[in-house]
Every structure is written in C-alpha cells, then in structure tokens.
Amino acid sequence: MSRSVLGLALLALVLFPCLECVQRAPNVQVYSRHPAENGKPNFLNCYVSGFHPPQIDIELLKNGVKIENVEQSDLSFNKDWSFYLLVHTEFTPNDKDEYSCRVKHVTLKEPMTVKWDRDY
C-alpha cells in the first residue's frame, strides 16, 4: 500500500510542473456593450479567453493607436485552468474611426489584432 502511495506522490511531483508546459492560444472577441449609434457614448469590450499561461498583454486601439486609461477585470480561470480577462473603455463610435483589440501572448508568433465590427 505504501509503495502505491509513494508512486502516486512521485507521479504528482513529476506531472505538476507540466501544468506550466501546457500552452493554449487566446480567443479574442471585440464588441460594444450596446448597439452602435454614431455620436452616442458606449463601452468597447475586448474579452480574451481560453489562454494559458496567464501572462498576456491586451490593448484597445483607436485607428491603430493604443487607447490609454482602459479598465481590466481581474485575471480569472476556468475549470480547465485556462484564463480569461475583460478589457474595456468608454468610447463614442462614428463612421471614420476604427477600433480594435491587440493581444500578445507566448502562443502567438505575432500579435493578434481583432477589429470591432459595429454590426456584431
């Protein structure tokens, strides 16, 4: 009996560090809180989910330029140990500006940029 317990303990010690070995690319969704209306204040959201490890860089962009003073939720995780975050800011949509979310993560060879589709 003690040999099997010892074996399980050794197995756990060997496998536990591999939780950090698991890498999952992020899923990115960009959307507004309310349907877009030109000139009407709204909130722009970038929801990033399903990623591992937890280190990630998320930026909201207006015409390719980083928007300052955005808010970010606390880092949270799912039952499968993948993580998710919400980054958001107030904005006023119009026909000339383009909004997007840029994500940098170890699983991505280059940053992923997802544009906001006002009809989504």
Tokens representing residue 86 in the block: 């919400």
pLDDT tens-place values along the chain, 120 residues long: 566 655 555 544 444 555 556 899 999 999 999 999 999 999 999 999 999 999 999 999 999 999 999 999 999 999 999 999 999 999 999 999 999 999 999 999 999 999 999 987
pLDDT of residue 11: 46
pLDDT of residue 119: 84
pLDDT of residue 120: 73
Residues 6 or more apart whose CB falls under 8 angstroms from that of 37 comprise: 93
Beta bridge partners of residue 43, listed in sequence order: 90
CA distance 54 to 64: 25
The reported pTM is 0.82
CA distance 16 to 93: 47
* Architecture of the CATH domain 27-115: Sandwich (2.60)
Answer whether 48's CB lies under 8 Å from 84's CB: yes
